Chain A
Amino acid sequence: MKLSIQVNEGPFQHQASDTAYFFTKAALDAGHEIFRVFFYHDGVQNGTRYTTPPQDDRNVVNRWSELAEAHKLDLVICVAAAQRRGIVDEGEQERNGKDGNNIADGFRISGLGQLIEAGIQSDRLVVFGD
């Protein structure tokens, strides 16, 4: 089955991103295709490489990056939600005159159309969040 995933909450305040991660991993292990993972609302915070949790805790951001690299996942951060919350890639840095960027490996910033397209193209769109 072709699946897309939507993550609506930040990495540590809610379990949504953890659950989405384990669901995505299990789906891949079971042979399903992940068309896209879309991060919206505070979910965009899952895509900043500045995340530094204590050493004895999981690193939710790195985990997504590693999964993306292993499976060529398309991790997309909503641009409008990202701009509000200070998630910046090189393009956004330039466009908005910021002094740096913080996007994590394996993530890209794009528009909400990518979410709608994921809904159209996938057999199921699975939403994680409150």
Chain B
Amino acid sequence: MSTTKKFLYVNRRAPYGTIYAWESLEVILIGAAFEQDVALAFVDDGVYQLTKGHDTAGIGMKNFSPTYAALGDFEVNKIYIEKESLEARGLTLDDLQHLVWEDEDEDWAEKDSIKVVTSAELADLMGEQDVVLSF
């Protein structure tokens, strides 16, 4: 398939209260095989999906948070976090997993995948997309 489109996955919900976050991740992983221009956005309670130290033992659900660290290997390396959502929840970048990818064009230099953007910047980003899937 030769067409390349800009796909944005918008993750809006906390990781375990509903299945949206986990099933969003399943779409992202499958979608990565299609070699599209993929970006992820985390807004509202969706920012909790990327926080460190998830422990799901008490709720008997699968802890899928380690999967986010593998996204860089699937060339999913544009991960936008909304600044306002972080601040409203008293979170900073230090509370989130450190997600990285290796840049083939720069001798596999390790680079950060996460970028904090304002809601205005995120709105512009959304405007540039061909396909927006929200979860």
Interface residues of A (CB under 8 A from B): 6, 8, 40-41, 80-81, 84, 111-113, 115-117, 119-121, 125, 127
A116 near B36 (CB under 8 angstroms)? yes
Give the most central of B5, B23, B34: most A CB within 10 Å: B23
Known: A119-B5, A120-B36. A6 touches B23 (CB 8 A): no
Name the residue on A nearest B1 (C-beta): A120
B48 contacts partner chain A, Cβ-Cβ < 8 Å: no
A119 near B131 (CB under 8 angstroms)? yes
Min CB distance A45 to B, Å, is 13
A41 near B36 (CB under 8 angstroms)? no
A119 near B133 (CB under 8 angstroms)? yes
B5 near A80 (CB under 8 angstroms)? no
Name the residue on B nearest A121 (C-beta): B3
B133 near A125 (CB under 8 angstroms)? yes
* Docked complex Cα distance between A117 and B31 (Å): 9
Which of A8, A112, A121, A127 is in CB contact (< 8 Å) with B26? Answer: A112
